[in-house]
Structure formats: C-alpha cells, structure tokens
Amino acid sequence: MSEQIYDELIAPKLLEIGKLCEEHGLPVVAQVEYAPGDFGLTQFRPDGASLPMKLMAISARCGGNVDTLFMAIERHAREHGHGSIYLHRLGVPITPDRGAA
C-alpha cells in the first residue's frame, strides 16, 4: 500500500518539484522510503552544486550500504580533492588525482 501511495500521490509531486528546481537551477535531492529498504529518489544537481548536495545524492544512491558510501566518498575525494582529516589519514590525497576516472 505504501508503494502505491508513493507512486500515485508522492512521486508525481516530487517530479513536479524536481522539474521546477531544474528550471531555476536549484539543486534538489529528495528520497522517500515507502517500505523498509525500498526508496524513491528525485534529484537534480546542476554543475556547481555544493558538496553537501553531492554527499546527500551519493548517500541516497548507496541504499544504506556503508562500504559503498565510503568508497563513493573516497572516489569523489580523489577526483575533486578534500579537506578531511579522516580521508587524509587513510592516505587519500588532499589535492585531486588527475589520473582518477
């Protein structure tokens, strides 16, 4: 029943909000858990979106898997650089790795 409510009532409104944000260049990340472990995700992240918006989107895509989240954060840090003490202690370079893909 929750998935049906999400599909029929919530997802269309989130899509409308997502399109409105996209029209105005506003980043948005919205995730709904309509059943335990089942998620709907609406996102728009234009170039230049802030790191918190990027981290929310990364987290939403990982589905609660901490290893996947940490690997995604590390990959982002290697590509874009970071200021994290923890990543630095793990040996992740502070400046971007231009060879990372």
Amino acid 99: pLDDT = 63
Q: Are residues 3 and 36 in the same domain?
A: yes
On whether residue 12 sits in a domain, the answer given is: yes
Q: Do residue 3 and residue 26 come from a single domain? A: yes
Q: Is residue 54 part of a domain?
A: no
* Closest C-alpha to 31, from 50, 49, 53, 47: 53
Classify residue 13: in a domain, yes or no: yes
Domain total in the chain:
2
Per-residue pLDDT of the chain (101 residues; tens, 9 = 90+): 799 999 999 999 999 999 999 999 999 999 999 999 999 999 998 888 899 999 999 999 998 899 999 999 999 999 999 999 999 999 999 999 676 55
- N-to-C CA span, the chain: 42
Instruction: Give me the pLDDT at residue 46, please.
Output: 84
**Domain extent for 34:** 1-47
